[in-house]
C-alpha cells in the first residue's frame, strides 16, 4: 500500500489544431496551454500518483506499444484524445480527456461497458477561472478513483472467526444456498484476489488470548478517555468499558502483528455464546478504530469493509455500516448498527455519543458484555448509501436526506440498534430493487452527495452499477 499508483499518460495532439491556429493571430492576448502545462496542473493535484510518459504527441498505436512493454507495472491510463481499440484492449482503468479546441471530437464518446471515465479540458482556458480549475479538479478526482482501486492491491484484511474463510455471520445462508458455501467462498476469494485484496484468518481464541494479555492500567486509561468524551453511560459501566478497551488494544496489536490494514470480527450473537467464554462487544472498539481511519467491521462483513475502505480513500470518511430496512409507506430507509465512527464527515469534526450496552441483553442481564456506542448522527444532511458485492461484482447505490428518527417513532434510540439513521428516499424504488442475495442486509452511509463519484468508481472497478432509487 506504500507503492505509488502508476498511470501512463499520452497526448494525441498539442495546443491548437489547424482550424484554430489563427486564434492567437486574431486574439493575441489569448492563452493556449501546452501539454507540459496541462500535465503539470494535473500532477500538482495528484501528489500520490506517479505519471509515466511524456507530453510529446504520440499516436494511439505508439502509446499502446509503450503500454504493452510495461503493462505489469501500470495501474491506469490518462489519455488526451479518442481511445483506439488497441488502448481499450489494454484493460487498464482509464481517464480519457477530450482536448477541446485542440482537435475535433469525432470518435470520442462515453465508452459504455468499459473501465473508462471521460472528461473535457479546453486548451484555451475558460473565461471563468473557477470553471477551468473545476475541470482540472474533476480529472484529478477521476484519477484518484484509479488510485483507490489500486490501493486495494495492498489491502490485508484480518478476519477473526472460528468458521473460516469468510466467517459465521456472513455470508448468509440464502446467499450460499444455490451454489453451496464452499463454491461461494471460492468465487468470493477469486474476485477479491482480482482486486488485489487478501484475507488473513485467525481464531477467536487467539483474539481472547491477546485481550487477556492487555495490562489493566492501559485499558483503564483508555476507558477513562472514552468515558470522559461521552455524553453519558447507559446500561453498562466502567468495568465493561474497560473490557471493550482491552478488545480494542488486542485488535490493534493483531493488526500490527499480521501487517493488516483492516479488521472484521464476529458479532455479538457469536460473542455471547463463544465456548471460551463471553467476548466483550466490539462496538466501541470498532467505532474508535473507524474514527481513527482504520476500517473495523463486525459480523465478518467483508463486503461492508471493502465498501468502507474504498469510501475512506475517496471521501475521507469511513462511512456508517448497518442493517438496512426499507419502509415503503413512510418513504424512508433505515440503517442501524451498534458501532459508528464519530466523524461522519471524515474531518476533525466530532458528533456526540453515549456509551451503551448491547440491545440484545435481557432486562435482568444489564451491565455485561462490554460496551457499544449510540452516536448522534447528523440530521437534515444529504447522504449517499452504497454497498459493494465482491462475489457478484456489483455495486448498489442510492441517495437521500437524513431526518429525525424521534419524529417518526417514539423512543427511537431504544429500538433495535443503538445507532441509527433515518433517510428520506424513494422507498418504492428501493423496495423493487432489493437484492438480499448480492448485497445481504447491510448498507454503508456516507455523508454528502457522492452519487457520481461512486458511479464512476463502479466503472473503474468494472462492476455493474445498480442504482436502487431509479425506475426499473
Sequential DSSP letters for 398-422? EEEEEE-GGGTSTTGGGSSSSEEEE
Kindly state whether residue 397 falls inside one of the protein's structural domains: yes
pLDDT band at residue 2 under the 50/70/90 scheme: very low
Assess whether 15 and 162 both reside in one domain: no
Assess whether 95 and 224 both reside in one domain: no
Residue 251 CB coordination number (10 Å): 25
Q: What is the C-alpha separation between 9 and 254, in angstroms, rounded?
A: 40
Kindly state whether residue 472 falls inside one of the protein's structural domains: no
Q: What is the C-alpha separation between 412 and 376, in angstroms, rounded?
A: 12
- Residues 290-304, mean pLDDT to the nearest whole number: 97
- Report residue 351: phi and psi, to 5°: -110, 155
Residue 446, strand partner residues: 384
**Residue 237 belongs to domain spanning:** 155-467
Residue 117, strand partner residues: 95
Assess whether 119 and 161 both reside in one domain: no
Assess whether 437 and 337 both reside in one domain: yes
Number of H helices, E strands in the chain: 16, 19
**Do 120 and 139 form a contact (C-beta atoms < 8 A)?**
no
First and final C-alpha spacing in the chain? 39
pLDDT band at residue 448 under the 50/70/90 scheme: very high
Q: pLDDT of 69-92, one tens digit each?
A: 999 999 999 999 999 999 999 999
Structure confidence at residue 360 (pLDDT): 76
Q: For the whole model, what pTM was predicted? A: 0.95
Assess whether 147 and 160 both reside in one domain: no
pLDDT band at residue 1 under the 50/70/90 scheme: very low
pLDDT band at residue 348 under the 50/70/90 scheme: very high
**Do 99 and 116 form a contact (C-beta atoms < 8 A)?**
no
Residue 374 has pLDDT above 70, yes or no: yes
Helix, strand, or coil (residue 323): strand
- Examine the fold and report which residue of 132, 153, 174 is the final residue of a domain before the chain moves on: 153
- State the total domains in the chain: 2
Structure confidence at residue 472 (pLDDT): 57
Assess whether 245 and 356 both reside in one domain: yes
Assess whether 139 and 251 both reside in one domain: no
Nearest to 300 by CA among 263, 345, 328: 263
Nearest to 280 by CA among 301, 249, 257: 249
- Rounded to 10 deg, the angle between the 216-229 and 238-257 helix axes is 110
Q: What is the C-alpha separation between 414 and 402, in angstroms, rounded?
A: 18
Q: pLDDT of 438-447, one tens digit each?
A: 999 999 999 9
Question: Which cell numbers in the block locate residue 182?
Answer: 464452499
- Examine the fold and report which residue of 96, 130, 153 is the final residue of a domain before the chain moves on: 153
Kindly state whether residue 241 falls inside one of the protein's structural domains: yes
Residue 49 has pLDDT above 90, yes or no: yes
Residue 117 has pLDDT above 60, yes or no: yes
**Do 218 and 249 form a contact (C-beta atoms < 8 A)?**
yes
Q: Which helix (H) or strand (E) holds 420?
A: strand 419-424
Mean pLDDT of the chain: 95
Assess whether 163 and 143 both reside in one domain: no
Kindly state whether residue 289 falls inside one of the protein's structural domains: yes
Assess whether 319 and 201 both reside in one domain: yes
Contacts of 173 (CB under 8 A, 6+ apart): none
- Examine the fold and report which residue of 109, 134, 153 is the final residue of a domain before the chain moves on: 153
Q: pLDDT of 167-219, one tens digit each?
A: 998 899 999 999 999 999 999 999 999 999 999 999 999 999 999 999 999 99
Q: Is the sign of the CA dihedral 383, 389, 395, 398 positive or negative?
A: negative
Nearest to 9 by CA among 47, 46, 56, 41: 56
The CATH number that applies at residue 144 is 3.40.50.2300
pLDDT band at residue 324 under the 50/70/90 scheme: very high
Assess whether 22 and 99 both reside in one domain: yes
- Residues 259-286, mean pLDDT to the nearest whole number: 89
Residue 397 vs residues 147, 180, 450, 456: alpha-carbon distances, Å: 21, 27, 10, 12
Residue 270 has pLDDT above 90, yes or no: no
Kindly state whether residue 145 falls inside one of the protein's structural domains: yes
Assess whether 80 and 181 both reside in one domain: no
Q: What is the C-alpha separation between 300 and 171, in angstroms, rounded?
A: 8
Q: Minimum mean pLDDT among 133-147, 162-176, 272-286: which range? A: 272-286
Assess whether 146 and 174 both reside in one domain: no
Question: Percentage of the chain with pLDDT > 90?
Answer: 91
Amino acid at each position: 500500500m506504500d507503492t505509488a499508483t502508476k498511470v501512463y499518460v499520452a497526448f494525441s495532439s498539442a495546443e491548437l489544431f489547424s482550424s484554430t491556429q489563427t486564434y492567437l493571430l486574431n486574439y493575441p492576448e489569448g492563452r493556449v496551454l501546452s501539454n507540459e502545462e496541462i500535465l503539470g496542473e494535473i500532477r500538482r493535484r495528484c501528489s500520490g500518483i506517479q505519471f509515466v510518459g511524456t507530453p510529446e504527441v504520440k499516436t494511439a498505436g505508439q502509446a499502446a506499444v509503450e503500454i504493452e512493454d510495461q503493462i505489469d507495472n501500470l495501474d491506469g491510463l490518462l489519455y488526451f484524445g479518442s481511445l483506439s481499440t488497441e488502448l481499450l484492449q489494454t484493460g487498464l482503468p482509464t481517464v480519457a480527456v477530450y482536448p477541446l479546441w485542440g482537435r475535433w471530437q469525432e470518435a470520442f464518446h462515453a465508452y459504455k461497458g468499459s473501465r473508462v471515465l471521460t472528461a473535457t479540458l479546453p486548451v484555451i482556458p475558460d473565461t471563468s477561472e473557477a470553471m477551468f480549475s473545476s475541470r482540472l479538479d474533476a480529472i484529478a478526482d477521476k484519477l484518484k478513483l484509479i488510485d483507490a482501486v489500486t490501493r486495494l492491491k495492498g489491502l490485508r484484511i484480518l478476519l477473526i472467526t472460528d468458521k473460516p474463510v469468510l466467517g459465521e455471520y456472513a455470508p448468509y445462508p440464502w446467499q450460499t444456498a444455490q451454489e453451496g458455501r464452499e463454491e461461494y467462498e471460492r468465487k468470493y476469494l477469486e474476485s477479491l484476489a482480482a482486486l488485489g485484496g487478501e484475507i488473513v484468518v485467525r481464531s477467536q481464541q487467539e483474539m481472547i488470548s491477546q485481550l487477556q494479555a492487555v495490562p489493566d492500567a492501559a485499558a483503564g486509561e483508555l476507558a477513562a478517555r472514552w468515558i470522559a468524551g461521552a455524553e453519558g453511560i447507559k446500561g453498562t459501566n466502567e468495568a465493561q468499558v474497560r473490557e471493550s478497551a482491552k478488545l480494542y488494544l488486542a485488535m490493534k496489536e493483531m493488526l500490527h502483528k499480521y501487517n493488516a490494514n483492516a479488521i472484521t470480527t464476529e458479532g455479538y450473537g457469536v460473542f455471547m455464546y463463544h465456548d471460551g467464554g463471553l467476548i466483550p462487544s466490539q462496538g466501541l472498539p470498532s467505532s474508535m478504530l473507524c474514527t481513527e481511519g482504520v476500517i473495523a467491521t463486525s459480523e465478518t462483513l467483508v463486503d461492508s469493509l471493502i465498501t468502507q475502505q474504498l469510501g475512506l480513500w475517496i471521501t475521507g470518511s469511513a462511512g456508517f455500516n448497518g442493517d438496512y430496512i426499507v419502509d415503503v409507506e413512510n418513504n424512508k430507509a433505515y440503517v442501524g448498527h451498534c458501532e459508528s465512527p464519530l466523524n461522519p464527515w471524515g474531518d476533525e469534526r466530532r458528533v456526540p455519543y453515549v456509551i451503551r450496552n448491547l440491545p440484545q441483553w435481557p432486562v435482568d442481564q444489564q451491565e455485561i458484555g462490554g460496551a457499544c456506542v449510540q452516536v448522534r448522527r447528523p440530521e437534515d444532511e444529504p447522504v449517499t448509501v452504497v454497498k459493494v458485492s465482491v462475489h457478484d461484482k456489483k455495486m448498489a447505490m442510492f441517495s437521500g436526506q437524513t431526518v429525525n428518527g424521534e419524529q417518526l417513532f417514539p423512543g427511537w434510540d431504544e429500538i433495535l440498534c443503538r445507532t441509527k439513521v433515518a433517510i428520506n428516499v424513494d422507498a418504492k424504488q428501493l423496495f423493487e430493487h432489493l437484492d438480499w442475495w448480492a448485497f445481504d442486509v447491510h448498507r454503508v452511509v456516507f455523508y454528502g452527495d457522492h452519487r457520481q463519484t461512486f458511479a464512476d468508481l463502479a466503472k473503474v472497478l468494472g462492476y455493474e452499477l445498480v442504482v436502487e432509487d431509479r425506475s426499473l
